[in-house]
Amino acid sequence: MVVVGAGIAGVACARELARAGVPVRVRERAHVPGGRMASRRFDGRPADLGAAYVTVDDPDFAAVVDDWRAAGLAREWTDTFVAYGPDGRREVTGPMRWAAPRGLRSLVEHLARDLPVTVDRLVRGVEPGPGVDGDRCAAVVLAMPGPQAALLLDPALATATRAAQAQRWSPALAAALRFPARRWGDFRGAFVNGHPVLSTLCDDGDRRGDGAPVLVAHTTPGFAAGYLAQPTAAAPFVEEAVRDLLGLPEPAEHVYVHRWTYAKPTVPGGGSYHLDADGIGLAGDAYGRPRVQSAWLSGRDLGRALVERLA
């Protein structure tokens, strides 16, 4: 049994299989697990460039979050964001948002700690059988955005290919901006509505709890689409937009831009996962709202379905 993709959906799926005694291997093309719960280190500290936070309303996922809290990996951050829009600035209250002092990637790494995860392992193709790169498997899970999964699937795996190609995703750029000092007012995160460049903005020093003068901005899909080929070229425009929004007098000391070609699903899939007669499973937050919890539930549910099938 092979799971391709060590984001939270793939890891949640593999944990269910391993817990039931089903032999499973996880293959990840990146250097570390995490997927879109990605963190990148700058000056020795992580900044979250994928998911901005974790929210929870499912009791099973709440138990996972409690484990992270007990391990010192997650903490309650805020239930209040600022909303910027045509009518000005206002505060909006919502669910409690959880943050990770060591970066959200550390949460996935914690879940994967007892799993056989192989990183830097690019998968070339998934064949009927099923098989991965010519190796026969009991089943294969592709825990990644559908467009990426479709590129790996042999066209003969028609059911999974159709399911993967039916997904629709929007892009985004994520920019980490380090400033000389904290010159902005009291805010933790912001929704930026109707802006040509920005969609959300987070105070990463507040989110991380170390007070670092670091902001992380996520752009609109429309803006991102123009810079997917060369995301670094977007840096001055994102910086200008952030400084203008917050009235910052000083330029950033450093700006790093990360490209997410498949940042957010725009058309939810039916059910919480895909599993077909060919032994191909698809999991992720495309099966639900674009949330960390949705991805975890998708992987968990697919893992349970595979246990029933393979037991």
The pLDDT score that the predictor gives to residue 155 is 96
> Which structure tokens are listed for 303?
């893992």
Strands (DSSP E) contained in the chain are: 2-4, 25-27, 39-42, 45-48, 75-85, 88-99, 117-118, 126-127, 131-132, 135-136, 140-142, 169-178, 189-192, 198-203, 214-219, 254-265, 274-275, 280-282
* Burial class of 160 by CB neighbour count within 10 A (0 to 12, 13 to 18, 19+): buried
> Which structure tokens are listed for 109?
């790494």
> Rounded to whole angstroms, what are the CA distances from 88 to 45, 194, 240?
33, 11, 19
- Confidence band for 207, pLDDT divided at 50, 70 and 90: very high
* Rounded average pLDDT over 168-180: 97
- Could you tell me which of 289, 18, 36, 268 has the C-alpha nearest to residue 143? 36
* Rounded average pLDDT over 246-255: 96
* Rounded average pLDDT over 78-95: 94
> Under a CB-based contact definition with an 8 Å cutoff, are residues 174 and 258 in contact?
yes
* Rounded average pLDDT over 212-224: 98
* Rounded average pLDDT over 91-108: 96
> Which structure tokens are listed for 50?
């994928």
Residue 158's SS3 state is: helix
The pLDDT score that the predictor gives to residue 43 is 83
Average pLDDT, the chain: 95
The pLDDT score that the predictor gives to residue 267 is 80
- Alpha helix segments (H runs only) across the chain: 8-19, 59-70, 105-111, 146-152, 158-166, 204-208, 221-225, 235-246, 292-310
The pLDDT score that the predictor gives to residue 92 is 95
- Confidence band for 311, pLDDT divided at 50, 70 and 90: confident
The pLDDT score that the predictor gives to residue 12 is 98
pLDDT tens string 275-304: 999 999 999 999 988 899 999 999 999 999
pLDDT tens string 106-164: 999 999 999 999 987 889 999 999 999 999 999 999 999 999 999 999 999 999 999 99
Residue 217 pLDDT exceeds 90: yes
Residue 269 pLDDT exceeds 80: no
- Could you tell me which of 232, 251, 226, 253 has the C-alpha nearest to residue 241? 251
* Rounded average pLDDT over 175-195: 95
The pLDDT score that the predictor gives to residue 146 is 96
Backbone angles phi, psi at 122, to 5 degrees: -75, 130
Residue 8 pLDDT exceeds 90: yes
* Rounded average pLDDT over 242-260: 97
Q: Is the pTM of this model over 0.85?
A: yes
